[in-house]
Amino acid sequence: MSLLLWMLALVTAQASGSVSGQVTDASTKTGIVEARVLLARTDGPLGESIVGRTDEQGRFTIANVPAGTYRVFAIDADYLRKEHANPVVVSAGKPVTNIAIAMTRTAVIAGRVLSELGDPAPNVFVRAWTQMGQVAEAKTNDLGEYRLFGLEPGTYTIGAERYMAPRIEGTNYLGPTPPCPDCQGEGEFRQPVVGLLKTGGYVDPRVILGRTYPMVYFPAATDRAAATPVNARSGVVTSGIDLRLVVK
């Protein structure tokens, strides 16, 4: 190392500090391996956070942290994001130690959705609500299976709904389009009825029959007030939450 680089490294070390601690599972008290630890300046955007990782014991040390006040976050795919109780003040040459963050495992709710005939119902939206509103959405696969993951432990109302039913409004035929990968719900297309009649284009028979597919709430209610709440526990897959669609 040249003298210039050595002097630059020395100045940087003297003008910065370090933050260390441990990230643990709130239930088992064991360290969480490979959790990300973020240091976000209280006067800056979260996107410019300094990032570290925990070791096999859940311990971490982030060196060369510029002096300032930081919020400390722990992030792991199997846990709820957790912020340390208080911001930490990093001073030049003074390490901040013993930062303890206990994380709570997320919950999973899973099951199947069947059609009104008892067959697997693919591409059905399954949603989870708390008293605060909708918090999660998934779509069934070809077997009618769904999995709502990353949930905060608690009580949920679970509902299933087909793609939006096609309909005629005024002179237009309206129907659903597939959702974008990061969107909730689906989009909508619009075509003039006159054009469809001239070309012989497809019109969903549900439009003619006037059938509707209402939201169904677990286990078999079309009124949300009559739904049975589902208790999702930390670190547990609550399975068998099955729903059957109805036609009106």
Mean pLDDT of 84-96: 93
Q: Does residue 14 carry a pLDDT above 60? A: no
Which pLDDT score is estimated for 217? 97
3-103 with 107-244: one CATH topology? yes
Cα–Cα distance, 224 to 244 (Å, whole number): 15
Domain ranges of the chain: 3-103, 107-244
Q: Does residue 9 carry a pLDDT above 50? A: no
- Phi then psi dihedrals of residue 226, to 5 deg: -95, 5
Low-confidence winner among 26-30, 32-36, 46-50, 58-62 (lowest mean pLDDT): 46-50
**Residue whose structure tokens are 């012989």:** 200
Q: What are 49-56's contacts with CB under 8 Å, separation 24+?
A: 49/73, 52/19, 54/22, 54/23, 55/31, 56/31
Strands 172-177 and 145-151, sheet pairing: unpaired
Q: Where residue 84 falls among pLDDT bands split at 50, 70, 90?
A: very high
More confident residue, 3 or 25: 25
Which pLDDT score is estimated for 26? 97
Share of the chain above pLDDT 90, in %: 65
Q: Where residue 141 falls among pLDDT bands split at 50, 70, 90?
A: very high
Low-confidence winner among 27-31, 79-83, 201-205, 221-225 (lowest mean pLDDT): 201-205
Q: Where residue 67 falls among pLDDT bands split at 50, 70, 90?
A: very high
Architecture of domain 3-103: Sandwich (2.60)
**Residue whose structure tokens are 């008892």:** 118
Mean pLDDT of 67-85: 96
Task: Please choose, from the candidates 83, 124, 121, 80, the residue with its C-alpha nearest in 3D space to the C-alpha of residue 101.
Answer: 83
CATH class of this structure's domain 107-244: mainly beta
More confident residue, 177 or 105: 105
Q: Does residue 17 carry a pLDDT above 50? A: yes
Cα–Cα distance, 205 to 173 (Å, whole number): 12
Q: Where residue 165 falls among pLDDT bands split at 50, 70, 90?
A: low
Mean pLDDT of 179-197: 71
CB atoms within 10 A of CB 134: 13
Q: 26 with 153: CB under 8 angstroms?
A: no
CB atoms within 10 A of CB 239: 13
Q: Dihedral through CA 86, CA 89, CA 95, CA 99, nearest 10? A: 10
Mean pLDDT of 123-144: 94
Angle (nearest 5°) at CA 168 between 164 and 170: 135
Which pLDDT score is estimated for 169? 80
CA distances from 17 to 51, 53, 98, 190 (A): 15, 17, 14, 60
More confident residue, 125 or 170: 125
Which residues does 8 contact at the CB level (< 8 Å), separation at least 6?
Answer: none
